[in-house]
Amino acid sequence: MDTSPRQPRRATRGRRPNRAHSYNFGPHELPVSPLRNSVLLPNTVMPLYIEQEKTRRAIDAALDREGLVLVVAQSHEMVEVPDPSDLYLMGVEAQVERTFIGPDPAYSVMIRALRRARVVRYTDYAMYLTAEIEPIAEIEDASPLALARMRIVREHFELASKATGRYMEEAVSTVMGISDPGALADAVSMTLDLSLHARQSILETLTIPERLELVDGLVLKEMQVQQIESKLQQNVQVEMDRSQKEYYLREQIKIIQKELAEHDPGLRDGMDLRERIETAGMPDEVRTRALREMERLDAMNTMAPEYTVLRTYVDWLLALPWTTATTDRIDLDDAQRILDNHHFGLTKAKERLIEFLAVRKLAPASRSPILCFVGPPGVGKTSLGRSIAEALGRKFMRVSLGGVRDEAEIRDHRRTYVGAMPGRILQTMRQAGTVNPLFVLDEIDKLASDYRGDPAAALLEVLDPEQNSTFSDHYLEVPYDLSKIIFILTANTLQTVPPALLDRMEVIELPGYTEEEKLHIAQKFLVPRQLTDHGLTPARLEFRDDALRHIIRDYTYEAGVRNLERELSGVMRKVARRVVEGKRAKVSITPPRVSGYLGPQKAFGHEAETLDQIGVAMGVAWTAAGGDLTPIEIAILEGKGSLQLTGQLGEVLRESAQAAISYTRGRVRELGISPTFYEKNDIHMHLAMGGVKKDGPSAGVPIAVALISALSGRAVRHDTAMTGEITLRGRVLPVGGLKEKAYAAYRAGLKQFLLPRKNLHDLDDLPSEITDALRLIPVDSLDDVLPLVLAAPPRCTEATEHDAPNTTPPAARATDDAPRVVDKPNPVTPHEPQRPLVVGLN
């Protein structure tokens, strides 16, 4: 045998081997063709695809002889060019049947495996690998054990092929037709999906029963794997079938519902709702939620109580605006015109609003500040908001927060609560119908908090640009975007506004109107508007200016113009009636006629005293209506030193009164007062309240003045209002509500207003109409105050030498009703004490 390496030869199409005439079962040398990922068993024919040059040369060498080659598996699949150590020592002697020239440079051959062959030795030539082999003739075994095993293998194989349906019929029948036990084992194993090593061990098992047993185990294992696999596949199939079935049923339901809907309004309703949900432009989360609730609705009996609850909920989701918006138009001239058309004066507020619009125009997405209008009722806070909405082309919405104590009113109760509804904010959004209205939140100073949660905190969530894009209403349960709303707040006072809210706002003050301003507003705005509202014209009804003044003074007592507007409409109603009854063609309202329309005078603000009096000082208080006079009266009575306080705010004033007494006791000498006054006299202090509720005056100064006046018998100037708290040593401390107080003093026709020096700046922008009529006098201490307001001591006084009862001036005695006229003018600012004063006229 020629074992020397040869030159490689070119493969030739259809080349056939030179067949041997007799077979040599002794050891002999063969070229080797390694198999990378498979094991060849005898009696099989297999195409081989040869990539390695070395193997190709081995095949060529084989073809030069009888075409015999050793095909042996590599024990390591990964090695590309194996050397002998990578090869098993058991392979098959095989016949190269045909060669093909495959796509270059590959080489395909058809190989028939003949018999097992054990390798005695490999020789690795540079050209190709050879092996010295010992062919193994198959042992013929017809023992009962072999036959029994063969039968079992057959049975199991048949079973497996039926159970799995995996093998082609011919393959099965070929295998079943093999009568030689060893060959059957080999053939069956070739049909199984085995690992390289498992198949190699079949090759290496030479004893037939053993080989059959091994193969049988593998058949059973294969059968198990197949069973599990088909079960898994069945599951997948069932899943797929179910979802297909569901889809199919759903489609069917839709068709049936559509058919039925034509006759069933309930169903039609459900379908309409679904369609509306799909087209409402809701965010995904909300739409999914709505559709889910629809499914629950579908499954419910329409008579069940929960049905209505759920249905209302879905209706709510649909009623809210999700995408509808108005487009802002910002034209500053236009805006100014609209503001001027609706409002007289208010220059500062208008200026600020125009600036606000300008910034919005330049930076529409920037966070604009939350404006807050602060002032008494009826000064135009809400209507300014309305005008700004008009200027922007936005929907105007008003939410009153007055008396909101419960957080739920802002963001509602949970839906489980019977009769639950969304909070006020979302109710208003529903009315607005657009996602970007302008909201005026009225009376934020009236928010109260108690055990039902903190409405201010909920309101903050509404206003805070960081949080309000996902506002959570307890009823709705899905987030709602409030970030496109412009919020404007209003308040009567800032004192009761929760500090956290105060932090976010920019305050614009609207302190109230003077009489002249009111007259102007009435002529230019209120009367024309009311005329139109009542279907009247100036040709039918005219108001004379003096009649308007009369209404302003004697029928309204307020900082704003709300009551004035109401009174005017009262007149109009009556005139309208007369016109309809055909009684009069034209009515002209003059002062004497006013009472005919409006009845007797209605407003009685505190009248300023007409004369200087002892024991009476004029305080001023802030009220929700914009400030009012609060005369403080003190009487000194015989007694044992008790302090009695009467009037609605008696107790509130006790501390101020105690401070005034202590101050006075420290100065008895200078003031000419009996040093034992607090032991031998009772002091009765009374605060006349008038009709309007006051929120707590800051009356230390007027109390001290009234007390000292009563004790010393020196009269108090009747034309002077005063405000300020005092310390024990008589220092005057700043207080709040100065503007309203100044307006009140002015309205009452007073001439002087004493105020804490630190408060002077609060009055910087009072209209000149007020500062011309009212002298503002800043004071630091009671020592400044007393000479300004008290008359000189009575001529006949010997206060310090008498006991207190005798020193008490007659005017202040309980028995002495008549106010005492002090004929001596104030030495500091001489004035006419007897000049009568009519409230509101000066």
SS3 per residue for 729-789: CCEEECCCCHHHHHHHHHHCCCCEEEEEHHHHHHHCCCCHHHHHHCEEEEECEHHHHHHHH
What does 506-567 look like in DSSP terms, one character per residue?
EEEE-----HHHHHHHIIIIIHHHHHHHTT--TTTEEE-HHHHHHHHHHT---SSSHHHHHH
What does 187-236 look like in DSSP terms, one character per residue?
HHHHHS---HHHHHHHHH--SHHHHHHHHHHHHHHHHHHHHHHHHHHHHH
Q: Which residue, chain included where needed, has tokens 């006020």?
A: 424
Residues in the interface with ligand ADP (CB under 6 A) total 18
Q: Please tell me the distance from the alpha carbon of residue 446 to that of residue 401, in angstroms, as a whole number.
A: 7
Sequence-ordered list of residues with C-beta below 8 angstroms from that of 617, at least 6 positions apart, any chain: 631, 632, 701, 702, 703, 705, 706, 709, 716, 722, 789
Active site residues: 698, 741
Q: Please tell me the distance from the alpha carbon of residue 492 to that of residue 559, in angstroms, as a whole number.
A: 11
What does 446-503 look like in DSSP terms, one character per residue?
G---BTTB-HHHHHHHHH-TTTGGGEE-TTT-SEE--TTPEEEEEES-STTS-HHHHH
For residue 281, what are its two tokens?
A: 């432009």
Site string for ligand ADP, 345-374 (x = CB under 6 A): xx----------------------------
Decide: is 313 part of the binding site for ligand ADP (CB under 6 A).
no
Decide: is 572 part of the binding site for ligand ADP (CB under 6 A).
no
Which residue from 511, 483, 563, 203 is spatially nearest to 345, judged by alpha carbons?
Answer: 511
Q: Which residue, chain included where needed, has tokens 């063709």?
A: 33
Decide: is 398 part of the binding site for ligand ADP (CB under 6 A).
no
Among 471, 525, 555, 597, binds ligand ADP (CB under 6 A): 525
Site string for ligand ADP, 439-458 (x = CB under 6 A): --------------------
- Distances 535 to 69, 206, 282, 563 between C-alpha atoms, Å: 121, 121, 45, 21
Answer positive or negative: Cα dihedral of 175, 180, 181, 182: negative
622 three-class SS: coil
The H or E element that residue 372 is part of is strand 370-374
Nearer to ligand ADP, 525 or 753 (CB): 525
**Minimum distance from residue 627 beta carbon to ligand ADP (Å):** 15
Nearer to ligand ADP, 56 or 350 (CB): 350
CB closest to ligand ADP, residue no: 380
Nearer to ligand ADP, 61 or 572 (CB): 572
Nearer to ligand ADP, 407 or 558 (CB): 558
Decide: is 565 part of the binding site for ligand ADP (CB under 6 A).
yes
**Minimum distance from residue 399 beta carbon to ligand ADP (Å):** 13
Decide: is 561 part of the binding site for ligand ADP (CB under 6 A).
yes
Contact 149, 213 (CB under 8 A): yes
Nearer to ligand ADP, 378 or 724 (CB): 378
**Minimum distance from residue 447 beta carbon to ligand ADP (Å):** 16
Strand 725-726 and strand 732-733: the pairing is antiparallel
User: What is the residue type of 335?
Assistant: A
Decide: is 396 part of the binding site for ligand ADP (CB under 6 A).
no
Find the part of the chain contacting ligand ADP (CB under 6 A) among 165-173, 194-202, 212-220, 559-567: 559-567
Nearer to ligand ADP, 427 or 556 (CB): 556
Among 55, 74, 382, 807, binds ligand ADP (CB under 6 A): 382
Find the part of the chain contacting ligand ADP (CB under 6 A) among 380-388, 772-780, 781-789, 800-808: 380-388
**Minimum distance from residue 748 beta carbon to ligand ADP (Å):** 22
Decide: is 755 part of the binding site for ligand ADP (CB under 6 A).
no
Q: At what angle do helices 332-342 and 381-392 cross, to 10 degrees?
A: 150
Decide: is 44 part of the binding site for ligand ADP (CB under 6 A).
no
**Minimum distance from residue 377 beta carbon to ligand ADP (Å):** 4
Nearer to ligand ADP, 413 or 518 (CB): 518
Decide: is 344 part of the binding site for ligand ADP (CB under 6 A).
yes
**Minimum distance from residue 334 beta carbon to ligand ADP (Å):** 18
Find the part of the chain contacting ligand ADP (CB under 6 A) among 191-199, 338-346, 712-720, 761-769: 338-346
Nearer to ligand ADP, 511 or 697 (CB): 511
Among 562, 680, 757, 824, binds ligand ADP (CB under 6 A): 562
Among 270, 378, 626, 700, binds ligand ADP (CB under 6 A): 378
Decide: is 488 part of the binding site for ligand ADP (CB under 6 A).
no
Residues in the chain: 842
Decide: is 380 part of the binding site for ligand ADP (CB under 6 A).
yes
Among 38, 75, 383, 472, binds ligand ADP (CB under 6 A): 383
Contact 620, 627 (CB under 8 A): yes
Q: Please tell me the distance from the alpha carbon of residue 564 to that of residue 716, in angstroms, as a whole number.
A: 34
Find the part of the chain contacting ligand ADP (CB under 6 A) among 228-236, 343-351, 597-605, 804-812: 343-351
Decide: is 388 part of the binding site for ligand ADP (CB under 6 A).
no
Which residues bind to ligand ADP, rule: CB under 6 A? 343-346, 377-383, 490, 521, 525, 560-562, 565
